[in-house]
Homo-oligomer: A and B are copies of this chain.
């Protein structure tokens, strides 16, 4: 790839407006004797050469007001950190599995590489490095690929990876939809009986702490559906999406979209423009998902 070993120069990731990446780690509570202090992803950029270190670990997280969940995580949060790349980046990613009990792995939808070599299990206490080029721009899911994958995702092992097209800008907001089930209950996943459906890891999170926008200033939202099971019907109340790029690819355009279908394991880039101040909810318009927590709010200021 023409990339040397990681340089001394350290960059923090681009985190324009993504609240989730900025939240502080949840307080640690012991479950089965395991609850790790979250380590944060380390991202080193040198030109188009990017070196990322991520950690898999077990951590309690808050999934609804007052509700703790014994999660399997990337970097101690659910969803894991947003990974911001630029089209053409040469990426070296090291996954450190801090979990003393179980193997984990990472499957990045932005990476076009042989999964049988790249996305394989990292044993407890081990690490593994993969390399890929971020050749296709988009709004992608990453997730743990270890068996049973339905459970690793249901337990919280997913996040968004954004590849900004050449000349483009990262999105203003990243929203990851996912379902929580009874902890460790793979049959609940099979039956499709979630207890919560959430945006960025917590039911109704952005109702109390809304996302911010300004009147007549366009904003972009990278929307990712991590599942594990349900299709999303993403909708912004009081707004019509100016355009949507399926999978976040700039070659795809739908215009004047009221509601956006996003499959589990899929993403989209959404452009909004609010012309009046106010409070605009965003939901999955599948009402059972909304009532289970898939709702939030934009507050639009003058």
User: Which residue numbers of A lie inside 8 Å of B, CB to CB?
Assistant: 107, 109-119, 136-138, 140-141, 145, 148-150, 153-154, 186, 189-190, 192, 227-231, 233, 235, 237-240, 246-249, 251-252, 254-261, 263-267, 274-281, 285-288, 290-292, 300
Contacts and interface: CB of A to CB of B under 8 A. Distances in A.
Q: Which of A109, A138, A265: most chain B CB closer than 10 A?
A: A265
23 contacts: A107-B238, A109-B235, A109-B240, A109-B258, A110-B240, A112-B239, A112-B240, A114-B277, A114-B280, A115-B281, A150-B291, A189-B291, A192-B288, A231-B263, A231-B286, A246-B254, A246-B257, A247-B254, A247-B257, A247-B258, A249-B254, A264-B285, A265-B285
A238 to B, nearest CB: 4
In the A-B complex, list the 10 residue pairs whose CB atoms are closest, starting with the nearest.
A114-B278, A265-B285, A249-B256, A228-B287, A233-B263, A150-B287, A259-B266, A116-B279, A115-B238, A251-B255
Given A114-B279, A149-B287, A285-B264, A136 B190 contact: no
B286 A263 contact: yes
Contacts of A265: 233, 235, 258-259, 285-286
A192 B230 CA distance: 12
A157 B80 CA distance: 39
* Number of copies of this chain that the complex holds: 3
A148 B186 CA distance: 29
B256 A267 contact: no
Nearest to A234: B263
Contacts of A278: 113-117
A287 B181 CA distance: 13
Contacts of A257: 246-247, 249
A266 B233 contact: yes
A279 B247 contact: no
A288 B109 contact: no
Contacts of A136: 240, 256
Nearest to A242: B136
Contacts of A233: 227, 231, 263-266
Contacts of A137: 256
Given A114-B278, A233-B264, A247-B259, 17 more contacts: A112-B240, A112-B274, A113-B238, A113-B278, A114-B238, A115-B278, A136-B256, A138-B240, A140-B258, A149-B287, A189-B287, A189-B288, A230-B286, A233-B266, A235-B265, A252-B256, A261-B261
